[in-house]
Amino acid sequence: MITGTTITQFIIEEQRRVPGATGEFTLLLNDIVTATKIIANDVNKGALAGVLGGAGTENVQGEDQKKLDVISNDVMISTSERSGHLAAMASEEMEEILPIPPQFPKGKYLLLFDPLDGSSNIDINISVGTIFSILKAPEGKKDVTAEDFLQPGTRQVCAGYALYGPSTMLVLTTGHGVNGFTLDRNVGEYYLTHPNMQVPADTKEFAINASNSRFWEAPVQRYINECLAGKTGVRGKDFNMRWVASMVAEVHRILVRGGIFMYPRDTKDPSKAGKLRLMYEANPMSLIIEQAGGASSTGRERMLDLKPGGLHQRVPVILGSKNEVERVVSYHKEAE
Ligand code: AHM
Ligand code: MG
């Protein structure tokens, strides 16, 4: 018999700690939990369900959509639009925000998500994930606009991700630490397996797409060169490197054993400030990392303090073990 705390019990217990909570947020989280189970099922079946390969369409960022990107986006919408907890949604896969259709009741929350992050890994059976962020809609406003989503990351009510790896996990924060749950496929429930996750302050492991190295800015080149010099250089210790090309997998590794993840600004395409998107990738992951004792920055500013300029805005991302992130930030300061 399985014992332990299910995610539903955990969320209800968290709700009891919030005076005056109506249960609306708890029910919204339950919808998201359900959506991740459905997506996990599709990802898990893969080629057997005919869900691999391209969808033949492009998203707002001009990237080819995979069938599973589109399916996951539909699952996130259909699972959370009808319960009455949301005012509107926004997704990596949709150019505009999606206000709750008039046939459904409207709620007080805004949901942002990347339905399936790590798209380049979908067809090759490597870990992918769903990232989500919850904000409050402005009170008393009838029709929510895209501007209402442009709140700094500090205003997130909740952030989380589902990791579809060898096991499916859901990791979330409501601003009181970070907890990880593992899906028992036979029972169909997530169980608390990783309570109070903490990022170690120091690390000997970095994650960066080194094929972009000639386009990096000087502070990032300096930091990586020092890591590569290992014991013989100023750091006096050897480093290891990982690059999964799935942000969810990288962040999860950092939460479990520390590390630094960087998708920094580079000059490859000067029109882009970075590759990753602020609202549904960088902000939720930054809240999780900070809540676990780590740090997250653009190199110049704390990520969560950024005032967003657009729904699909890109940002440089440097996150993970606190002392390493602070070192990279100090290299940026020195260079300026
Ligand atoms: P996606 O949202 O289109 O999947 O792109 C985001 C992903 C991240 O998960 C990952 O860190 C990065 O892109 C990998 O980029 P690259 O292929 O340049 O290594
Ligand atoms: Mg993504």
Would the CB of 61 count as within 6 Å of ligand 1?
no
Would the CB of 245 count as within 6 Å of ligand 1?
yes
Is 302:287 a contact under the CB 8 Å cutoff? Answer: no
- Can you give the pLDDT at residue 65? 85
- Can you give the pLDDT at residue 136? 97
Exposure class string for 222-249: b at 16+ Cβ within 10 A, else e: bbbebbeeeeeeebeeebeeeebebbbb
Burial of 105 (0-12, 13-18, 19+ CB in 10 A): exposed
Residue 280, C-beta contacts closer than 8 angstroms, at least 6 positions apart? 90, 91, 92, 112, 113, 114, 131, 132, 133
CA distance 298 to 301: 5
Residue 58, C-beta contacts closer than 8 angstroms, at least 6 positions apart? 64, 65
Dist. CA 92 → ligand 2 center (Å)? 7
Dist. CA 276 → ligand 2 center (Å)? 7
Point out the ligand nearest to the CA of residue 130: 2
- Can you give the pLDDT at residue 56? 85
Would the CB of 320 count as within 6 Å of ligand 1?
no
pLDDT in tens, the chain (336 residues): 556 999 999 999 988 888 888 889 999 999 999 999 999 999 999 888 788 888 888 887 788 888 999 999 999 999 999 999 999 999 999 999 999 999 999 999 999 999 999 989 999 999 999 999 999 999 988 899 999 999 999 999 999 999 999 999 999 999 999 999 999 999 999 999 999 999 999 999 999 999 999 999 999 999 999 999 999 999 999 999 999 999 999 999 999 999 999 999 999 988 898 999 999 999 999 999 999 999 999 999 999 999 999 999 999 999 999 999 999 999 999 999
Would the CB of 120 count as within 6 Å of ligand 1?
yes
CA distance 255 to 253: 5
> Candidates 65, 276, 286: which one to mutate for ligand 1, based on the most atoms within 8 Å of Cβ?
276
pTM of the model as a whole: 0.96
Exposure class string for 140-150: b at 16+ Cβ within 10 A, else e: eeeebeeebbb
Secondary structure (DSSP) of 266-316? BSSSTT-S-SEEIIIIIHHHHHHHHHTT-EEE-SSSBGGG-----TT-EE-
Q: Are strands 240-241 and 205-208 parallel, antiparallel or unpaired?
A: parallel
CA distance 25 to 101: 19
- Can you give the pLDDT at residue 2? 58
CA distance 177 to 168: 20
Closest approach atom of ligand 1 to CA 61: 3
The token pair at 95 is 């150019």
Point out the ligand nearest to the CA of residue 122: 1
Would the CB of 246 count as within 6 Å of ligand 1?
yes
* 104 conformational bin, left if phi > 0, alpha if psi -120 to 50, beta if neither: beta
Residue type, 238: D
- Can you give the pLDDT at residue 332? 98
Considering only CA atoms, which residue is closest to atom 5 of ligand 1?
Answer: 118
Report the candidate in 240, 248, 92 with the shortest Cα–Cα distance to residue 165: 248
Considering only CA atoms, which residue is closest to atom 11 of ligand 1?
Answer: 247
Question: What letter does residue 182 receive in the DSSP assignment?
Answer: E
Please measure the distance between the N-terminal and C-terminal CA atoms of the chain and give it in whole angstroms: 60
CA distance 190 to 179: 12
Is 159:170 a contact under the CB 8 Å cutoff? Answer: no
Residue 177, C-beta contacts closer than 8 angstroms, at least 6 positions apart? 196, 197, 291, 292
- Can you give the pLDDT at residue 11? 92
Q: What is the CB neighbour count within 10 angstroms for residue 269?
A: 10
